[in-house]
Structure 1
Amino acid sequence: MAYLSTGVINKHPNTTISLIELVNLDPSIAVKIRVKVINWSDGATITDTEFTLHPNTLINFLVFLVNSDLGINAEKFEIRYYTSHDLQVFINSYGVDNFRANQEGNTVLFKSLNPITKTAFNLGNSGPNTGSVTSL
């Protein structure tokens, strides 16, 4: 079990989406994953989603950081992760533009994630949406 954070990221002006890649390399264990994205510009939770990542599965998860229809404009954001089994789970996040091109300074790779406490993870908790992912 692990609670991890990117820390607060200053969004590149062209970044509109956080592209999160999650992979479970374990051949037999399903893993619960929770992704929480916080807009530190206004303190609101953009998403709090929980799902099951099945064995040997890679997914891409998109979170819109700028969306005028939803009233989102995150100039500073943080991504928090919870994994129920962390031995074979790898997580990377990339700030991308509308064409999915990486934007400078908005990439946080797994080795750079910071461990946090369960209490810190749950601050501002709005409760997760749930689902299950087997493949994309």
Structure 2
Amino acid sequence: MSDKKILSTGVLGKDINVAFAGITLVNLDPDDIRKVIVHVYRWDSGSSTPLPLSAPNPIVLNPNTSVRITANLQNAFFYEIRIIHPGDKDVLVNCYGVSNFPFVNGEGDTVLQHDLVEVKLK
């Protein structure tokens, strides 16, 4: 990941109906595998606490495939999704707040690829 980018949703205030952070990753490249690292942080205390994900990092995206992972937000009021992205234009990421069953995406908790902010961390 030499051209990697670190992307963030920023700290989001969770909608009352949201129970999970949902992250969809897609690799549109027809030939090459891509790897993406995803972190979800709880920000309720004013500092970040990592939350467990439904899949281990790095997330391996085979050619022309998509993956959806989640993190449980039921005890969080403020959260952030941070993605370490390979920097390839054929890898897309969208983030959603998702309710309990029937798993509806929360409108106010949606951050699409073009809304993610690139951050520089040391």
TM-score over 0.5 (shorter chain):
yes
- What does residue 111 of structure 1 align with? 114
- In 2, distance between residues paired with 1:95 and 1:21? 11
- What does residue 133 of structure 1 align with? none
- What does residue 77 of structure 2 align with? 75
Amino acid at match of 1:36: H
- What does residue 25 of structure 1 align with? 28
Residues 32-58 of structure 1 show CA distances to partners (whole Å, capped at 9, x for unaligned) of: 100001100133110373222111111
Q: Structure 1 residues 16-25 or 46-55, which shifts more?
A: 46-55
Preserved CA contact (<8 Å) 2:23 2:93: yes
Preserved CA contact (<8 Å) 1:15 1:97: yes
- What does residue 62 of structure 2 align with? 54
Amino acid at match of 1:65: L
Equivalent pairs, count:
113
1:91 aligns with 2:96: no
- What does residue 44 of structure 2 align with? 41
Cα RMSD (Å) of the superposition? Answer: 1.4
Amino acid at match of 2:65: T
Shift of 1:85: 4.0
Query: What is the identity percentage for the equivalent residue pairs of Structure 1 and Structure 2?
Result: 38
Shift of 1:80: 0.3
Shift of 1:2: 1.4
Q: What 5-or-longer segments of structure 2 have no aligned partner?
A: none
4+ aligned runs moved over 2 Å, structure 1: none
Preserved CA contact (<8 Å) 1:35 1:47: no
SS in 1 for 2:114: helix
